[in-house]
Structure 1
Amino acid sequence: MRIAFFVNAIESETSYYTTTSLAIAAIARGHEVCYATPGDFVLRPDDSLAVRVTTPGAGKPKSADTFIADLNEKANLKTIDIREIDVLFLRNDPSLDADERPWAAHVGAMFGRLAVERGVLTVNDPDALAKAQNKLYFQDFPKVIRPSTLISKSLDEIRAFIDSQKRGVILKPLQGSGGRHVFKIKSSKESNLNQIFEAVSDEGYLIAQGYLPDAVEGDVRLFVMNGRPLEKDGCYAAFRRVPAKGDIRSNISAAGTAATVKVTPKILEVAEIVRPKLVADGMFLVGLDIVGDRILEINVFTPGGLQNLEKLNGVDFSSSVIESLESKVKIRQIYGSQLPNAVLATL
C-alpha cells in the first residue's frame, strides 16, 4: 500500500507531528509512504491527474528525528499518476496558508476531490473538508455540546454578547489554529478591548464563546476514528492539554503540556452525540477538544498529539490508524467505486 500525506510544506514537518508518527507506523507495517504539498498536483490535457511526491530514504527509520532528516536531505522526488496512490491522507492546516499563500489553503480539498473521482481513497473526505475550512463547521453540530457562541465582525454585537456572559468569553479568529490570537475577555468595559478587536478582526470574522469554568484545568483532546473514540488495549487515545501558567490556551504549540486523563462516561457521551455527523461527513480521524460536557473545537484537518499519547500511555495508536486504512483499501478492492468515498472513509 502506498500512502501519500498531503502537508503544508515538507520543510515545516517535525519529528513530533502526528503525521510523522503515522508515516513511521505505516513503514513499520511494510507500506510505502510519500509526501505531497499544495504545489505538487498536475491536471494534464488528457484529464489524468499527476502528483509530484517526496519519498523519504529507503529502509525503516531508527527514530522520528532520523525520518525527518531523511525526508529533507535524502528524499527522492518523482511525479506519478494519482492512481498509483492507495490512500491520500489530507493533513494540511488551511489557516497556515491563509495569509501568505491563500491559493494553497484549499488545494487539498480541491485536488482531493479529483483524486476521489479517479478511485483514490482520500481521508478525511475532501467534500466535507471543503465545508470545514473554518470554525463555522462546528456550528452544524447539536447545540447541546456547544458553548454559547457568537460569530460577527461587529464590535457592538461582541460587546453585547460579552455582557450576556457572566463568566466572560473567549475571543478568537473564525479561521485560525495553534492558539494564535486567542483572548479571554471578562467584561465589555475592558480598556484594551478595542485593540484586541482590531488585532483579531484583521484576520476576518471573530468567534466569541462563553467561557467554561472547567477550562482553567485545560481541555481534553480525544481522538475519534471512524466516528468512535480511538481505543487500543483498553486505553483511549485521549490526554489533557494543560495551559502554561498565566495562559488560557491549552494548545501544545502554545506551551501547553500533555497529561494523562481518565475518559469519563460524560466524555464518551459527548463523543457519541457528534458521531452521526462525523460518520455522515466521512471524517475518518478527528480531534475533539472537550471541556466538561462541551466541545470547544473539532479539529478535522490536523489533529495532533498522538506522540504525546503514545509516550504517556505506552500504546501505539498510530498503528491502529494505519490498520484501519488497510481495511478500507481491501474493501475498495472488493467493491470498486460502488461505495462513495465518504462512506468508505468511516467504515
Structure 2
Amino acid sequence: MRIVFFINSIEGEAPHFTTTVLALAALNRGHEIYYVTPGDFVLRPDDSLMVRAVSLPRAKYKKPETLHKDLHGDGTKIETIDVADLDVLFLRNDPSDDAYERPWAAHVGAMFGRLASERGVLVVNDPDGLALAQNKLYFQGFPERVRPETLISKSIDEIKSFIENQPKGVIVKPLQGSGGKNVFKVDTPTDANLNQIFEAVSGEGYLIAQGYIPEAKSGDVRLFVMNGKPLELGGKFAALRRVPAKGEVRSNIHVQGTAEKVKVTDTMLEVAELVRPKLIQDGMFLVGLDIVGDKILEINVYTPGGLWSMSQMYEADFPGAVIEALERKREVHAANRTISNRALATL
C-alpha cells in the first residue's frame, strides 16, 4: 500500500511518537510511506488533487530512531503524487498546535481529507467525523454516564457558581486545546488565583470546567480503541497509566508525567463499550480514551500517543496490528468500491 501520514510538521516529529512507530511498522510490512504537512496539497484546474510528499527509502528499520534520522536526513525526497494513486491517508495532526500561529493550517487535514475520500482513498480517521471534533465540545455528545459533571462558559460568575457546587474542586481548561496546556485545579470559588486563571484561560476562548475526580491523583489511563473496540493483542491491551509528577495535576508525558503498566479492568472496558456506538458512527478508526475511575476525561481523536511505550511495556506489536487493520480495509474496499469512507474506517 501507499500510506501517507498527515502531520503538523516534519521538524516536530520525534522518534517515539506514535506516528513514527506506525510508519516503522508499515515499512517493515512492505508498504510505501510518505509524510505530508498542511501546505503540501495542490488542487489543479483539472480537479486532480496532488500532494507534495516526503518519501522515505523503502527499507526495513529495526529502531524508530533510525527511521526518524532518515526522515530528517538526505535520504528523503519530495515527490508530487496524485492522491488518487494513494491507498491510505492517515490524518495525524493536532489542530490545536496550529490554531494560533497559523490558523489556516488547523483543519486542512479534514478539508482535503474529504476530497481524498471522494477520490477513492481510505482516510482515517474519517474527515467528516474529525470536523465534528474540532474542540472539547465534541465530548458532550457522548453518554452522560461516562462524562464528569461539566460546565462550558466564558462567564466567571457562572464558573464560580459551578465551583460552589463541586465540593472536591474543579479542573479548568480551554475548550480548544490539547497537551495539558493551561490546565488548572481550583478548589473553591474564593481561591486567590481564580481571577488570574480565568484571565489566562479565557483569552483562548470558551472555558470548560469539570468536577474533579480524586482518583486522578494516581493518574489517568490511556486506552487505545481501534475500530470501536479496545486494541488488544494476545490478551494484552494497548493501555498505560500516566502518573502526574509531584505537585502537578496534569499527567501528560511531556510535562514530566510517567508511564506505567496498567491492568485494564472491567470498568474500563464497560466505559469503552459505552462510547463505541458514537466512535463507529463518526468513523473514528483509532482514538485514545483518557479514563479515571468510571469516567472519561478526554477522547483524543487526532493524535493519540503512547503506542511505542505500550509496545515496549507489553512486548506486543500494537503498531503492526494497526497497519494490519488498514490492510484488511483495503481488501474490503477493493471488493466493494461503493462502501463509504466512514463505514470503511471502522469496519
Aligned residues: 346
User: Following the alignment from structure 1 to structure 2, what is the Cα–Cα distance between the partners of residues 287 and 58?
Assistant: 29
**Offset from partner CA, 1:102-158 (integer Å, 9 cap, x none):** 000010000000001101000000001011010010000010000000011111111
Q: How does 1:87-106 map to 2 (within 5 A)?
A: 87-106=88-107
User: Following the alignment from structure 2 to structure 1, what is the Cα–Cα distance between the partners of residues 232 and 57?
Assistant: 32
Query: Which residue identity lines up with residue 191 of structure 1 in the other structure?
Result: A
User: Following the alignment from structure 2 to structure 1, what is the Cα–Cα distance between the partners of residues 320 and 296?
Assistant: 27
User: Following the alignment from structure 2 to structure 1, what is the Cα–Cα distance between the partners of residues 220 and 62?
Assistant: 33
SS at match of 1:297: strand
1:18 aligned partner: 18
1:56 positional shift: 1.8
**Offset from partner CA, 1:176-214 (integer Å, 9 cap, x none):** 111111000001101111111111111111100000011
2:273 aligned partner: 272
2:30 aligned partner: 30
Question: Is 1:197 the equivalent of 2:198?
Answer: yes
Query: Which residue identity lines up with residue 157 of structure 2 in the other structure?
Result: D
SS at match of 1:11: coil
User: Following the alignment from structure 1 to structure 2, what is the Cα–Cα distance between the partners of residues 295 and 86?
Assistant: 33
SS at match of 2:11: helix
Report if the CA contact (8 A) 1:243-1:249 is conserved: yes
Gaps of 5+ in 1: none
Q: TM-score, normalised by structure 2?
A: 0.99
User: Following the alignment from structure 1 to structure 2, what is the Cα–Cα distance between the partners of residues 311 and 172?
Assistant: 32
Query: Which residue identity lines up with residue 248 of structure 2 in the other structure?
Result: D
1:16 positional shift: 1.0
User: Following the alignment from structure 1 to structure 2, what is the Cα–Cα distance between the partners of residues 324 and 199?
Assistant: 42
1:340 aligned partner: 340
Report if the CA contact (8 A) 2:27-2:58 is conserved: no
Query: Which residue identity lines up with residue 101 of structure 1 in the other structure?
Result: R
1:61 positional shift: 2.5
SS at match of 1:315: coil
1:146 aligned partner: 147
SS at match of 2:208: strand
What fraction of aligned residue pairs are identical, expressed as a percent? 65
1:251 positional shift: 0.8
Q: How does 1:173-322 map to 2 (within 5 A)?
A: 173-322=174-323
Q: How does 1:123-162 map to 2 (within 5 A)?
A: 123-162=124-163
1:62 positional shift: 3.8
Q: TM-score, normalised by structure 1?
A: 0.99
Structure 1 stretches of 4+ with a deviation exceeding 2 A read: none
Report if the CA contact (8 A) 2:41-2:52 is conserved: yes
User: Following the alignment from structure 1 to structure 2, what is the Cα–Cα distance between the partners of residues 72 and 237?
Assistant: 29
Report if the CA contact (8 A) 2:32-2:58 is conserved: no
Q: Once structures 1 and 2 are overlaid, which stretch shifts more, 56-65 or 306-315?
A: 56-65
Report if the CA contact (8 A) 2:28-2:59 is conserved: no
User: Following the alignment from structure 2 to structure 1, what is the Cα–Cα distance between the partners of residues 227 and 190?
Assistant: 45
1:27 positional shift: 0.6
